[in-house]
């Protein structure tokens, strides 16, 4: 039986984003505060996913052996290091989160049956790499607070209560929404980036956080005057707001995950949506409600 097993590890390290062929002004423009000498640090959290058939002992691999491989090949070398100097790969391509994940894959692939390397730079920024050349995924996590009422405009109060329960109450209710935006793209062979992180954060701020935060969605967002602002519809709308701005940054919007509460979240896999659909109402989202 095929099974995927995940192993967690961690290391603390510093890095600096700068290119010697650029002037100080050019480095500051490209990398912002990450350019500052002598660098800055993170407590990195690493998840290694391996796949295989279960052996007679009920294991894909002995996790004690997996732990030792990860320690020998990765964490013992990276822990308390200056990443720009520790591995030769980071002297050619900067040690961004996505590029660190890619190089870790390269270091572990000869020893483990990898299916994914996931690296958290901090709880609101992480990268996934699945062994596909220079292609990687970068996820930004953020939040906004908003109220909504679940009620279809063509139904009366009784009918809405029957469908939506207490969520149909006239005055609505609120959530602290957590939003995860995942993009995919090719790692730049020099900067190590698949997208300008500052520009990505600004796009999310401009198109989502600023217009959505501290609003009553049904009244303050025109789209939801007629569309019921369920978590699914909110995530779908956000995906349509962000697709073009992210494409202009040179990346592809891959997934939008909206966490409405600890018990309720949904995911939109944006690359599965029909890209040539002109109307939001005609799109066919792929949803995973958890």
Give Cα 107 to chain centroid, integer Å.
23
Q: Is the pLDDT of residue 20 over 70?
A: yes
| 43-73 per-position pLDDT tens digit | 999 999 999 999 888 899 999 999 999 999 9
Confidence class for position 16, pLDDT limits 50, 70, 90: very high
Do 1-122 and 134-290 agree at the fold level?
yes
Q: What is the 3-state secondary structure (H, E, C) of the chain?
A: CEEEEEEEEEEEEEECCCCCCCCHHHHHHHHHHHHCCCCEEEEEEEEEEEEEECCCCCCCCCHHHHHHHHHHHHHHHHCCEEHHHHCCHHHHCCCCHHHHHHHHHHHHCCCCCEEEEEEEEECCEEEEECCCCCEEEEEEEEEEEEEECCCCCCCCHHHHHHHHHHHHCCCCEEEEEEEEEEEEEECCCCCCCCCCHHHHHHHHHHHHHHHHCCEEHHHHCHHHHCCCCCHHHHHHHHHHHHHHHHHHCCCEEEEEEEEEECCEEEEEEHHHCCCCCCCHHHCCCCEEEC
Mean pLDDT of 23-38: 95
Say what the pLDDT of residue 273 is. 56
pLDDT of residue 272: 61
Residue 284 scores a pLDDT above 50? no
Q: Which residues are catalytic?
A: 167, 214, 260
Which of 43-57, 77-91, 266-280 is predicted with the least confidence, judged by mean pLDDT? 266-280
Cα dihedral sign for 269, 272, 275, 278? negative
List pLDDT tens digits, range 168-194: 999 999 999 999 999 999 999 999 999
pTM for this predicted structure: 0.91
What does the pLDDT average to over 117-146? 98
Q: Above 50 in pLDDT, residue 22? A: yes
Residue range 244-263, pLDDT digits in tens: 999 999 999 999 999 999 99
pLDDT band for 282, please (50, 70, 90 cuts): very low
Average pLDDT of the residues in 78-89: 98
| Spatial separation of the C-alpha atoms in residues 196 and 202, rounded to whole Å | 10
- Band (269; pLDDT cuts 50, 70, 90): very high
Place 243 in a pLDDT band, splitting at 50, 70 and 90.
very high
Q: What CATH number belongs to 1-122?
A: 3.30.479.10
pLDDT higher than 60, residue 280: no
pLDDT at 286 over 90: no
Indicate the domain borders of the chain: 1-122, 134-290
Q: How confident is the model at residue 271 (pLDDT cuts 50, 70, 90)?
A: confident
**pLDDT confidence bin for 278, thresholds 50/70/90:** very low
Q: Classify domain 134-290 by CATH architecture.
A: 2-Layer Sandwich (3.30)
Residue with tokens 């290091």: 81
Side-chain half-sphere CA neighbours of 40 within 13 A:
12
User: If you average pLDDT over residues 209-231, what whole number do you get?
Assistant: 97
């Amino acid at each position: 039986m095929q099974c995927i097993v995940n192993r967690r590890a961690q290391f603390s390290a510093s890095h600096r984003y700068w290119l010697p062929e650029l002037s100080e002004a050019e480095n500051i423009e490209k990398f912002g505060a990450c350019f500052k000498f002598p660098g800055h640090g993170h407590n990195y959290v690493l998840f290694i996913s391996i796949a295989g058939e279960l052996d007679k002992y009920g294991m894909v691999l002995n996790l004690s052996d997996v732990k030792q491989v990860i320690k020998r090949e990765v964490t013992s070398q990276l822990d308390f290091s200056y990443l720009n100097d520790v591995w030769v790969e980071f002297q050619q391509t900067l040690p961004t989160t996505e590029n660190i994940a890619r190089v870790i894959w390269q270091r572990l692939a000869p020893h483990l049956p990898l299916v994914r390397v996931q690296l958290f730079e901090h709880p609101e920024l992480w990268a996934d790499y699945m062994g596909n050349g220079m292609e990687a995924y970068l996820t930004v996590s953020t939040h906004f607070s908003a109220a909504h009422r679940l009620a279809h405009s063509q139904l009366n109060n009784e009918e809405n209560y029957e469908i939506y329960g207490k969520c149909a109450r006239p005055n609505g209710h609120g959530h602290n929404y957590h939003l995860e935006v995942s993009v995919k793209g090719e790692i730049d062979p020099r900067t190590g980036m698949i997208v300008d992180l500052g520009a990505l954060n600004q796009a999310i701020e401009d198109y989502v956080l600023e217009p959505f935060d501290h609003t009553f969605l049904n009244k303050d967002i025109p789209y939801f005057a007629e569309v019921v602002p369920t978590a699914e519809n909110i995530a779908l709308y956000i995906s349509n707001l962000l697709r073009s701005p992210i494409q202009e940054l040179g990346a592809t919007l891959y997934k939008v995950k909206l966490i409405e509460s600890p018990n309720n979240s949904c995911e939109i896999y944006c690359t599965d949506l029909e890209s040539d659909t002109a109307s939001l109402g005609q799109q066919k989202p792929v949803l995973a409600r958890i």
